[in-house]
Structure 1
Amino acid sequence: MANVSGGKLTAAISAAGGLGMLGAGSAVTADWIRTEGAIAAAGGKPYGIGLMAWSVEHRPEHLEAVLELKPALVSLSFGDYAPYVEPLRQAGIVVATQAGTVADARAAITAGVDVIVARGAEAGGHGRNAVATLPLLQAILDLTDLPVLAGGGISGPRGLAAVLAAGAAGGWIGTAFLTCDEALTSEPVRQRVIEADETATVYGTVFDAASRAGWPDEFGGRALRNSYFETWQGREEELKTDDAGHAEYVEGTRAADPARASIYAGQGVGALSGRPTAAEVLDGFATYRTYLQAALNGDAK
């Protein structure tokens, strides 16, 4: 949720009954994390911060800022996060990591994390494209007694009811908040997200090759398909050294041009409409019990 979930959205989600997550991208400064973290914490509700392990390796000051803030939870994924688990836990912070395969989950257990996120291929943003959410969730639940959250394709209360019924401790939800009033999402991007249907996403490393941010090729990203992606798909290695292609992407990102910028979103994007508040989104998810009860009564629709 980098470039989407700043302190305002994080605080709003937590205030509405969820656990808001501050998206600390690799390009932000440690002071940005401190400032936005303070906004997230101002309401007095628990919140979390998301970091990428590959980025922390080069930006240790990100971890230092997080340890100063002491959020309730830190998500560390994508790279060698093991060295950071114990320092976070010693600070009283719950540590989560995203697993895209059973092998990822086994590594997380070995590393000593507190929570595993079963991140399916349907999910927006970065991760693996190997296994869908439901089969991955079932396999990881059979593997461990640790709390397991389900991420990927959970666009509303029906999806949340489904993963809770399977045994997940909760949902790890991002796409549903992309168009929220409190999000950092620009207006052109917000409108493009609203217009997208469930077939509009694509998975790959084109945007990472263009950005040169440092993402490992192992972890591609699911985003809305656009003309920039179509131009460079299959030419990612060429793009990594193509200065004109890089400049076009950077310019498109600065201009919030949906045709050139990366708009990370999951397959649940088709369910989005309008510009709700975070509280309204959470209120919708809170009706999941209706679907669980209907299933128990044998009258689910």
Structure 2
Amino acid sequence: MWLTEKFGVSVPLVGAPMANVSGGKLTAAISVAGGLGMLGAGSGVSADWIRTEGAIAAASGKPYGVGLMAWSVKDRPEHLDAVLELKPALVSLSFGDYTPYVGMLQKEGIVVAMQAGTVADAREAIEVGVDVIVARGAEAGGHGRNAVATLPLLQAILDLTDLPVLAAGGISGPRGLAAVLAAGAAGGWIGTAFLTCHEALTPEPVRERVIEAVETDTVYGTVFDAASRAGWPDEFGGRALRNPYFDTWEGREEELKADDTGHADYVAGVRAADPARTSIYAGQGVGALTTQTSAAAVVGSFAAYRTYLQAALNDGAK
């Protein structure tokens, strides 16, 4: 299996790089447990934060990765400089023009991934020369496209290329991992399942809200990006838990971009970790989260994918 050959993982999953969730501690814990952890380097962090958290991730001695947004790197080139210094095993570059950076990373021996939300995205990534494609379906939490669901997207991209393809979106446990592996994916790109891990940066009130959430509680849009003024292109909205703040501003995103009171209310909500006002990015698999746990336990639970694959091969007999 490609992930095992390339990174030595024992469970074919990559922990999705989630800003404000995937710090060095969670990244290392996922890698130590047998997956490949990814550091979520959001646009608001400093280059020193990347270096510090990257050092924590690297201290385990296991391979790890870093996730960057191309639109942010354009404005914050020091983020890329920090990653080039760290030389992680994998770097994800998506959401904007990532073309100028792929070769720079590959020259340092770094594997480059790109998150594709459509077949057109995947074609572009192939032409640019990335090493692995993440088929990110609309079910996925966080930022990306809301165009195509995971399964149809995964099948189309697998038919398009011989590059390794990871599946992202709605893979909440071993059954989902077994499903995408059976289709031909090289592994799962797993984010939401790690939100309530002890090692995550997720604030306590947010953890509690995530545990309470059911699969129908997520919503896709750009309200929180308009509120944060972080710089996300409107082309890439985000899937998060619906809350009163979102309901207040949905359909008024352009107005919100210029509303200082609305912006201040959101910032205050983020600082207070108030589930009613802050963005809680999560995918449609959020209903599977019922408790706080460890990254090792989550990775271990995904290892049961073998049971479901074997049952399928035996015509359903376990």
Normalised by the size of structure 1, how large is the TM-score?
A: 0.99
Are the equivalent residues in 2 in contact too, given 1:239–1:246 (CA < 8 A)? Answer: yes
Letter in 2 for 1:85: V
Give the equivalent residue in structure 2 for 1:121: 138
What residue is the counterpart of 2:278 in the other structure? 261
The equivalent residue for 1:41 is: 58
Alignment of 1:219-258 (within 5 A): 219-258=236-275
Give the Å deviation of 1:273. Answer: 1.3
Cα 1:300/1:242, change in 2 over 3 Å: farther
Q: Which residue identity does 1:98 align to in structure 2?
A: Q
Distance (Å, rounded) in 2 between the aligned partners of 1:23 and 1:186:
16
Q: AA paired with 1:238?
A: E
TM-score under structure 2 normalisation?
Answer: 0.94
Q: Which residue of 1 aligns with 2:100?
A: 83
CA distance in 2, matches of 1:262, 1:205: 11
In the alignment, residue 266 of structure 1 is paired with which amino acid? G
Give the CA deviation at 1:23.
0.2
Give the AA of the match of 2:305. Answer: Y
Residue of structure 1 in register with 2:307 after alignment: 290
| Equivalenced residues, count | 301
State which of 223, 231, 239 in structure 2 corresponds to 1:214: 231
RMSD: 0.7
Q: What's the offset of the Cα at 1:299?
A: 1.7
Match of 2:73 among 56, 63, 82: 56
What is the identity, as a one-letter code, of the residue corresponding to 1:175?
T
Displaced runs of 4 or more, over 6 A? none
- The answer for unaligned runs of 5 or more in structure 2 is 1-17
What is aligned with 2:189? 172
Question: Equivalent residue for 2:294?
Answer: 277
Query: Whole-Å Cα distance in 1 between the matches of residues 317 and 121 of structure 2?
Result: 34
- Superposed, 1:90-105 pairs within 5 Å as 90-105=107-122
Q: CA deviation at 1:160?
A: 0.1
Provide closer, same or farther for how the CA distance between residues 228 and 41 of structure 1 changes in structure 2, counting only shifts above 3 A. Answer: same
SS at 1:164's partner residue? helix
Q: Distance in 2 between matches of 1:185 and 1:157?
A: 23
The aligned counterpart of 1:23 is: 40
SS at 2:157 equivalent: helix
**Which amino acid letter does the alignment assign opposite residue 86 of structure 1?**
G
- Give the 3-state SS of the residue equivalent to 2:251 in structure 1: coil
- 1:113 deviates by 0.2
3-state DSSP of counterpart to 2:219 = strand
Residue identity opposite 2:224 in structure 1 = F
SS at match of 2:133: strand
1: CA distance between counterparts of 2:245 and 2:218?
13
Which digits, 9 at most, give the CA deviation of each residue in 1:236-262, with x for residues without a partner?
Answer: 000000000000000000000000000
SS at match of 2:26: helix
Contact residue 291 and residue 300 of structure 1 kept, 8 A: no
Q: Aligned pair 1:156/2:173, yes or no?
A: yes
Q: Secondary structure at the match of 2:231?
A: coil
Q: Is contact 1:96–1:114 with CA below 8 Å preserved after alignment? A: yes
After superposition, what is the alpha-carbon deviation per residue over 1:219-244, rounded to whole angstroms, capped at 9, x for unaligned?
A: 00000000000000000000000000
Cross-structure match for 1:138: 155
Change (3 A) 1:300 1:216: farther
- Report the Cα offset of residue 300 of structure 1: 5.7
Query: 1:195-210 to 2 correspondence within 5 Å?
Result: 195-210=212-227
Query: What is the letter of the counterpart of residue 95 of structure 2?
Result: F
After superposition, the C-alpha distances for 1:171-200 in whole angstroms (9 at most, x for unaligned) are 000000000000000000000000000000
**1:273 and 1:180 mapped to 2: Cα distance?**
11
**Identity, % of aligned pairs?**
85
1:274, 1:116 → 2: CA distance?
A: 31
